[in-house]
Structure 1
Amino acid sequence: MIENVIELHDATIMQEQQAVLQGVTFTLEKSAFAYLVGRTGSGKSSLLKTLYADLPLQSGTGSVAGFPLSRLSASKVPYLRRRLGIVFQDFQLLSDRSVAENLMFVLNATGWKGKAKKQQRISDVLTQVGLNGTANRMPHRLSGGEQQRVVIARAMLNEPVLLLADEPTGNLDPDVSDSIMQLFGEINNSGTAILMATHNFQLIEKYPHRVLTCKDGELLDSTKQR
């Protein structure tokens, strides 16, 4: 069993040939929740992209969901991503397809078989995020908060061990942000680890967890500064 869903040791995080973070060492345990904070350009998104293998790990060692990042072949990247859920700030839903079709697209792309099984999974994740009855609606007919819930449902389809969220409340008003945080809390309590990049310090105060801060080329860890 994987005890740590993320392990990085002395890692250098690159962004367009520039090292944005150096000497990055941290682990995230199964079922843990941590925030990732820092100014724009401090390396948050690059760190997340390294974790889901969109950017290569140039130096140091690391593994995510049991996959070694430094020697991960391109053919293995889809298998890593099946163990992850990824939530973006800009929803990236397919605008010409219904909610159910958006989710079906991911199930087909990740190799699910059996129509009934796929439909059941779609129903399960929509129930999980509180969106019963929206399967046949088009994304533009949903509010911003509902669209973000569809994105979270999409991220949960493959029962990930780790959810990576990049500013998931960035485009939402405070009440909706609250409801998304409560949903993340439920997902986390059911056993999925979460690493969430955010600028919203009010949310961090209201829902306190470990904080990893990108600052001056380093990653600072709130659990190590006490």
Structure 2
Amino acid sequence: MSEPVVELQGVTVTQEERAVLERVSFGLEKSEFVYLVGRTGSGKSSLLKTLYADLPLQVGAGTVAGFDLERLPPGKVPYLRRRLGIVFQDFQLLSDRTVGENLLFVLNATGWRGKARKQQRVQEVLMQVGLSGVGGRMPHRLSGGEQQRVVIARALLNEPTLLLADEPTGNLDPEVADGIMALFAEINHAGTAILMATHNFQLLEKYPHRVLTCQDGALLDSGSR
């Protein structure tokens, strides 16, 4: 068996000095697709922030993409995040530069070298998300679904072992959301594990996977027996 992409044991997830989830224990295998559900304020986003080290792990043990969250010095956080892809609901694209420049910004920030190599990687990820012709366009000239595809392309730049998606279809109409889910399925089948927070229970019925539920300060796992 390969090492899990995520493994938490007895973790307390803390937001602003307050425990929002306690005794959290679960694993996520390579190439697994798991939903994260729960009411607003139940701890979904806080759990995701703990996984990408935006919130420190103070109680319990956890590893993500081979990094020990308990013993992760601030200087190593960027190295963890290079192993992850993070997709936000509100896109967070830089509005003053083109799609291609948004992607190049990430490659420059994560230490890529060589102009031709960077341009090639930008074209590869845009093709992967079905947007090979939009590199020269400004984000505001794209539809919401296209902007979300750019965000996914950005998350794929460093070939992550794990994609963390926080309500990625929350601002999209159902037809566009279906396209995003089909894209996630392709990414997942290619070997990237996905943990996706969502409020959309229709997606869970249409594309069934294991479900983690944040409820009353605990994390319930549909995969546990």
How far apart in 2 are the matches of 1:205 and 1:125? Answer: 29
- Matched letter for residue 37 of structure 1: V
Gaps of 5+ in 2: none
1:3 matched residue in structure 2: 3
Matched, 1:17 2:17: yes
State the match for 1:218 in structure 2: 218
Distance 1:124 1:2 in 2: 28
- Normalising by structure 2, report the TM-score: 0.99
Q: 1:62-101 maps to which residues of 2 (within 5 A)?
A: 62-101=62-101
For 2:124, the equivalent position in structure 1 comes to: 124
Query: Hey, what does 2:169 align to over in structure 1?
Result: 169
Aligned AA for 1:59?
V
Match of residue 29 from structure 1: 29
Instruction: Report Cα offsets for 1:70-113 as digits up to 9, x if no partner.
Output: 11000000000000000000000000100000000000000000
Q: How does 1:33-44 map to 2 (within 5 A)?
A: 33-44=33-44
For residues 80-159 of structure 1, the aligned pairs below 5 Å read: 80-159=80-159
Q: 8 Å contact 1:12–1:21 — kept in the other structure?
A: yes
Distance 1:154 1:99 in 2: 9
Structure-to-structure mapping, 1:186-205, within 5 angstroms: 186-205=186-205
Shift in CA distance, 74/126, structure 1 to aligned 2, threshold 3 Å = same
- Please tell me whether the aligned partners of residues 2 and 65 of structure 1 are also in contact (alpha carbons under 8 angstroms): no
- Aligned position for 1:56: 56
Root-mean-square deviation (CA, aligned residues, Å) is 0.9
Question: Normalized against structure 1, the TM-score is what?
Answer: 0.98
1:112-149 Cα offsets, whole Å, 9 max, x none, are 00000000000000000000100000000000000000
**Aligned equivalents of 1:149 and 1:64: distance in 2?**
25
Partner amino acid, structure 1, of 2:211: V
CA shift in 2, pair 1:80/1:2, >3 Å: farther
Residue-pair matches, total: 225
SS at match of 2:223: helix
Letter in 2 for 1:135: G
- How much does 1:2 deviate? 5.4
Structure 1: segments with no counterpart, 5+ residues: none
Deviation at 1:58, TM superposition (A): 1.0
Q: Following the alignment from structure 1 to structure 2, what is the Cα–Cα distance between the partners of residues 12 and 50?
A: 10
Per-residue deviation, 1:3: 2.3
Could you tell me the percent identity over the aligned residues?
77
- For the Cα contact (< 8 Å) 1:2–1:66, is it kept in 2? no
User: Which letter maps to 2:100?
Assistant: A
Structure-1 separation of matches of 2:128 and 2:176: 17
Q: What secondary structure does 1:13 align onto?
A: strand
Q: What's the counterpart of residue 178 of structure 1?
A: 178
Task: Name the aligned partner's letter for residue 218 of structure 2.
Answer: E
Q: Distance in 2 between matches of 1:189 and 1:97?
A: 32
The 2-side partners of 1:50 and 1:141 are apart by 34
C-alpha separation between the residues in 2 aligned to 1:59 and 1:2? 25
Partner SS for 2:23: strand
Distance 1:179 1:68, change over 3 A: same
